[in-house]
Each structure stands twice: as C-alpha cells, then as structure tokens.
A and B are shown apart, each in its own frame.
Chain A
Amino acid sequence: DQQVKQNSPSLSVQEGRISILNCDYTNSMFDYFLWYKKYPAEGPTFLISISSIKDKNEDGRFTVFLNKSAKHLSLHIVPSQPGDSAVYFCAASGGGSQGNLIFGKGTKLSVKP
C-alpha cells in the first residue's frame, strides 16, 4: 500500500515557465514533508521541506504548498531552468525525528530550452 503517491511519472515544461509537481499521501499521521531532487548517478539532494503546521514554504524559486484536508502537497518551481531537469521525490514522515521517511516513486522533470 503506497502511502506517498506521485501520480505523474514525468513532466515536461518550457524554460521560464512554472513547473508544478504533485504528491498525495494517505497517512494522516504524517506531519513533515520533504522534496528531494536526484540527478543520474548521484544521490538525492534535499530541496525544501514543510511542517504540517504551515501551508506554504518558500525558498528562492521553490515553493511547497501543503493542503492537509486534501492530503496533498505540491512543489512549484518558478521560473523553471534546464538545470532543474531531474527526478523529484516527495517524502513524508510522522514519527518525529525517529519516524520513517516514506518516499514517493518520483516524477521526472524535463525543462526544455
């Protein structure tokens, strides 16, 4: 049973436009959410996170929105750049610092020049 779902395996966006990556979760106990970016042949790198007490967190071109009632979060990248082309993983945890981090299967973003 997948607790964290990224229903779009891939997304293609034009450079300069907005990229929106979506993530749904089923476990209402999750209270901390993270996005990771992964390039081929490298490990995932942390991008941005959000706690369940917030509904938005912003860091430069990256903004994460959390809708707790819908159990949905999204990552907005504005403006998108070719260097953003990577696989993006959504992850969630609910046990404090000792809770397991559950990852989605990832969405491959391609930003075309």
Chain B
Amino acid sequence: KAGVTQTPRYLIKTRGQQVTLSCSPISGHRSVSWYQQTPGQGLQFLFEYFSETQRNKGNFPGRFSGRQFSNSRSEMNVSTLELGDSALYLCASSLVGTGEKQYFGPGTRLTVT
C-alpha cells in the first residue's frame, strides 16, 4: 500500500498570505489528522477529520481550517499567515481514529517571511 503523501513538501509564503496544504491518506483509512511541529513545542494536534466531518479540534486559532473529501483526501488552510506559523505540518491517517496507531506523511515545511 502506498503511504501517506503530502504536497507540497516545501513552501515559502509572505506574512498575510494564505496557504493550502494537501494530504492523501493510506487507502482505506478514513481518519485524517493534522499536526504542527515546531522546535519548541513538539507535535501539536490541529484537527481530525473522519468521513468528511471534523471530529476533533486542537487549540489553534480559527485561521487554521481544514476539510476532507469523499475520497478521504484532506486539505488544511491557513489564512492571514503570521511568522509564527512557520513549521512542519504533518498529516497522519488511521483506520478509525486518532486514538490508535497513526501513519504519518513526510510533512510540508512552511516558511513564512
């Protein structure tokens, strides 16, 4: 089975812009989660989508949003980018939910200048 894929792998944006990141889960996995990784904070949970519905949400501002399509592919959007949004954004998929073993993609490295 192909693993979790994320596009793009690297992205440079300017403060105030918006960005959309994409994630394709492992075939058959219905749960897709997004995490932000920064050097000082480790992996922080953004949100989880299951069957096109947001089921769990972390403690991030409303500028961070996402969606999931009927084929389980997911997108994450960040509007009005701030310098502090520079991070590695990781997508993970699992069969039924975030409380079980998840499979991570390689991440998208976002740099905001």
Interface size on A, residues (CB 8 A): 26
Question: Given that A34-B101, A43-B105 are contacting pairs, would A100 and B45 also be in contact in the complex, using a CB cutoff of 8 Å?
Answer: yes
Question: Most B CB atoms within 10 A — which of A32, A44, A49, A95?
Answer: A44
Tell me whether B102 and A46 are in contact (CB under 8 A).
Answer: yes
Q: In this complex, what residue of B is CB-closest to A49? A: B101
Tell me whether A93 and B99 are in contact (CB under 8 A).
Answer: yes
Question: Most B CB atoms within 10 A — which of A43, A96, A102?
Answer: A43
Tell me whether A41 and B104 are in contact (CB under 8 A).
Answer: no
Give Cα distance in the complex from A79 to B98, angstroms: 31
Tell me whether A101 and B42 are in contact (CB under 8 A).
Answer: no
Classify chain B's interface size: 20 to 34
Beta-carbon contacts under 8 Å, B17-33 to A = 33
Partner of B98, one of A42, A89, A100, A106: A100
Give a binary string over A11-45; 1 marks a CB under 8 Å from any B CB, 0 the rest: 00000000000000000000010101000011111
Question: Given that A43-B90, A104-B42, A105-B41 are contacting pairs, would A99 and B106 also be in contact in the complex, using a CB cutoff of 8 Å?
Answer: no
Q: In this complex, what residue of A is CB-closest to B44? A: A103
Tell me whether A101 and B102 are in contact (CB under 8 A).
Answer: yes
Give a binary string over A86-113; 1 marks a CB under 8 Å from any B CB, 0 the rest: 0001010111111111111110000000
Top 5 A-B pairs ranked by shortest CB distance?
A43-B104, A105-B42, A97-B97, A99-B99, A93-B99
Which positions in B face A, CB cutoff 8 Å? 4, 33, 35, 40-45, 48, 50, 55-56, 58, 90, 92, 94, 96-107
